[in-house]
Chains A and B, each alone.
Chain A
Amino acid sequence: EDQVTQSPEALRLQEGESSSLNCSYTVSGLRGLFWYRQDPGKGPEFLFTLYSAGEEKEKERLKATLTKKESFLHITAPKPEDSATYLCAVQEIRHGSGNTGKLIFGQGTTLQVKP
């Protein structure tokens, strides 16, 4: 069964203290792995898509990497405004039935950055 597991569930950092969030996945064939940011009371906001092992993408203080079994979201020198829940999701390759666009989400990591 396809599965996405994120760790840790919650993470508290001091401003400037770098760390990483983990997303482990099990799918029969990976079409894409997505990272989203969700602020309280809002919908998830797209950050990155990764397609194949070894791929990396960066945006400001965030860097996402991908292996065959997991993805990491590295946060370098975080600021309080980086506080949010970070969601990982995978889209699987569907043979025969076509791509439905379905995303399977992990439970998220809630990040709090203290000044």
Chain B
Amino acid sequence: DTAVSQTPKYLVTQMGNDKSIKCEQNLGHDTMYWYKQDSKKFLKIMFSYNNKELIINETVPNRFSPKSPDKAHLNLHINSLELGDSAVYFCASSPYGDRGRGYTFGSGTRLTVV
């Protein structure tokens, strides 16, 4: 059983398009995150939801909109894609307030904007 699953794994699209990435976790965790990993492997937080409530919204363009229909799902919708959006996007989850293990990450979605 995959703990944190993301779809799709690869996404190639043209500039200006709108795309979504889906994430689901079956760990029973309360908190979910979206991180962006650039070409230098630097991971930076974008959003965090705790039990469907937005708790972290870093300086991310308004073209990025997260949605959490329930605490097991956190999707990321991106409007008007730009070349600079090309990166690997990771979903992760953790128990709220539990610092013991940090996160459980998904396997990532490699987004390429052409």
- Stretch of B12-20, B60-68, B77-85, B98-106 lying at the A interface: B98-106
Q: Specify which of A99, A105, A107 is in contact with B99 (CB 8 Å cutoff).
A: A99
Interface residues of chain A: helix, strand, loop or mixed (majority): strand
Q: Are B101 and A43 in contact (CB under 8 A)?
A: no
Which B-chain residue is minimally distant from A103 (CB atoms)?
A: B102
CB of A102 closer than 8 Å to a CB of B: yes
Encode A40-71 as 1/0 by CB contact (under 8 A) with B. 01111110010100000000000000000000
Chain A positions within 8 Å of B4 at CB level: 43
Chain B positions within 8 Å of A78 at CB level: none
For chain A, the count of residues having a C-beta within 8 Å of the partner chain is 27
Known interface pairs A44-B43, A49-B101, A91-B102; A100-B108 also in contact (CB < 8 Å): no
Q: Are A34 and B102 in contact (CB under 8 A)?
A: yes
Closest approach, in angstroms, between the C-beta of B75 and any C-beta of chain A? 17
Chain B positions within 8 Å of A38 at CB level: 41
Q: Are A99 and B97 in contact (CB under 8 A)?
A: yes
Encode B14-48 as 1/0 by CB contact (under 8 A) with A. 00000000000000000101000000111111001
Q: Specify which of B45, B90, B101 is in contact with A46 (CB 8 Å cutoff).
A: B101
Chain A positions within 8 Å of B55 at CB level: 100
Which A-chain residue is minimally distant from B38 (CB atoms)?
A: A107
Q: Are A105 and B44 in contact (CB under 8 A)?
A: yes
CB of A79 closer than 8 Å to a CB of B: no
Q: Are B33 and A46 in contact (CB under 8 A)?
A: no
Q: Are A43 and B56 in contact (CB under 8 A)?
A: no
Q: Specify which of B33, B41, B45, B56 is in contact with A107 (CB 8 Å cutoff).
A: B41
Chain A positions within 8 Å of B104 at CB level: 46
What are 28 A-B pairs with beta-carbon distances under 8 A? A36-B102, A42-B108, A43-B90, A43-B105, A44-B103, A45-B105, A46-B101, A46-B102, A46-B103, A49-B99, A87-B43, A89-B102, A91-B99, A99-B99, A100-B55, A100-B56, A101-B31, A101-B94, A101-B97, A101-B99, A102-B48, A102-B56, A103-B102, A105-B43, A105-B44, A107-B41, A108-B41, A108-B42
Interchain residue pairs A-B with the least CB separation, the first 4? A43-B105, A105-B43, A34-B102, A32-B99
